[in-house]
Structure 1
Amino acid sequence: MTTLTEIGNTPVDFAVLRSMFPSHKSVNNKISELEKSGVLIRLKKGMYVVSPKESGKLLSLELIANHLYGPSYVSMESALRYFGLIPERVYANLSMTVKHSREFNNQLGRFIYTQCQKEYFPIGIRQEIHAETAFLIATPEKALCDLIIHTPNLNLRFKKEILTYLEEFLRFDMDAFYQMDYRIFEQCAEVGKKKVTFKKIVKILKP
């Protein structure tokens, strides 16, 4: 039988926990007891993660974000910060999803999900492995596309506007920007919004 330690830092739902305590008359009471004692951390109704003190594994907010509401992938400022491309700390864990936009708040933080088109969703996603934990995250290119699309009233039509936005507003790592894969911006321009901006970025990056 799987133990809480073996679950590690992967979020689990009520059904998994119930199967671990077949002899208990009230699994709800057992889970509440484990939550009060700090063994389990409640992520949302019916979903928990084992405390690092119990599992011996550090929590991954990116993995939790994937499980909390899906299909989804970590993106926008959260991904850009993860890759070290922007200096500012991010106030929430930001993800993209094909479902309706949602927000969850728990003791680990704020998790925000923004809806995007189904055709646009799979472009530029990769599986990242960090500290033996695998999760889905946008490539830097896709994270930047997501941020540009979903920033209200952001209309970048000229090269100077784009570079000013990156350098002064985002304080973006410009050396990394000029090394980006222009093909992902091309794909986003085909099916996403703000096509003019992405086509201009392609012109800046394309050899």
Structure 2
Amino acid sequence: MATKYTILSKKDAKLLEEAIVRYGRIITFKQLQKLLKDVYESNQAIRNRISFLIKSGWLVRIKNGLYVIITDISSLSFNDISGLSIAQALNRDSYISFENALQHYGMFDQMLTTVDAVTYKRARKYNMQSIKIRFFKIKKGLYFGFNRQRSDVGLVNIASREKALLDMLYFRSGNYNISLIWEKMKEYKQDIDLLFLKKSAIKFGIGTIRKMGLLLDTLGVNTEDLYLHIAGNRGYDRMTKESRIFNSKWRVYFDDKIII
């Protein structure tokens, strides 16, 4: 059934205004139920009213039991709420990372239609209206390196510059990804906490240490402290599947067309 967009009654308008003041634009069914129980006598009446607000276009379902309150019915969507805020509402135990975090710090200026976040819970994907949200699962020991940042509808967990770069290196190995990491490290070297970057890389393990060590060496950064954690290890890794040039210090294959 198509959604019908109707003008709110004064009573419903007041209820939604109170909901926004109390809970914000993203609201749960239980929170709505708590507000409506003073107005409607039965649970069924409450459910019917919530169903009416959904069909009328004033509530948009994000997932079961979670909604966005629409403040401008002419927009017919929740495009005025950032995908970062929606991702945080979908999974409180997550933080925004990858290009989305870099964009937050002004390090990535291309338009993004996907929000990528990291969680120690289940990996999931959501498609809603014009945005895709993906959650990448990481072990709890690597769930760190983010801060609470203010957004359009509240606080959102966003990875630090250093953690975003490490997450990209850990989860992705394509040419585009390595090229992007290298480009941002060169361009924003002065903004990156290199000590924190090295200490964090150690937590990820040998593969990430090798890759980050090579990048930092090429960048002219002292990596003696990082190298101590792989010295004597005879294994090897690859920056990408296509990497063919071997760096004997870090024992990692790389592509000199990407890292120059």
Cα 1:9–1:99 shift into 2, 3 Å: same
1:19 matched to which residue of 2? 34
Q: 5 Å matches for 1:139-150? A: 139-150=160-171
1:159 matched to which residue of 2? none
Q: 5 Å matches for 1:15-164? A: 15-22=30-37, 23-25=40-42, 26=44, 27-53=46-72, 58-107=80-129, 109-122=131-144, 124-131=145-152, 133-153=154-174
Structural RMSD (CA): 2.8
Give yes or no for contact 1:10–1:49 (8 Å, CA) kept in 2. Answer: yes
Question: What one-letter code is carried by the residue in structure 1 that aligns with 2:135?
Answer: Y
Cα 1:63–1:138 shift into 2, 3 Å: same
In 1, Cα distance between the equivalents of 2:184 and 2:85? 25
Q: Deviations over 1:106-139 (max 9, x none)?
A: 23521100011211111x2011124573211011
Question: What one-letter code is carried by the residue in structure 2 that aligns with 1:188?
Answer: S
In 2, Cα distance between the equivalents of 1:177 and 1:29? 56
Give the TM-score, by structure 1 length. Answer: 0.79
Q: How big is the shift at 1:173?
A: 7.6
Question: What one-letter code is carried by the residue in structure 1 that aligns with 2:196?
Answer: I
Give the TM-score, by structure 2 length. Answer: 0.64
Unaligned runs of 5+ in 2: 1-14, 74-79, 223-260
1:200 matched to which residue of 2? 214
Cα 1:29–1:173 shift into 2, 3 Å: farther
Q: Which has the higher contact order (CA 8 A, sep 6+)?
A: 1
Q: When the two structures are aligned, how many residues end up with a matched partner?
A: 193
Tell me, what secondary structure is at the counterpart of 2:107? coil
**More off after superposition, 17-26 vs 125-134:** 125-134
Give yes or no for contact 1:183–1:202 (8 Å, CA) kept in 2. Answer: no
Give yes or no for contact 2:24–2:153 (8 Å, CA) kept in 1. Answer: no
Give yes or no for contact 1:185–1:202 (8 Å, CA) kept in 2. Answer: no
Question: What one-letter code is carried by the residue in structure 2 that aligns with 1:190?
Answer: I
Cα 1:187–1:173 shift into 2, 3 Å: closer
Cα 1:184–1:38 shift into 2, 3 Å: farther
Cα 1:20–1:141 shift into 2, 3 Å: same
Tell me, what secondary structure is at the counterpart of 1:52? coil
Q: Which runs of 4+ in 1 moved over 3 A?
A: 7-10, 130-133, 170-175, 200-207
Aligned identity (percent) is 23
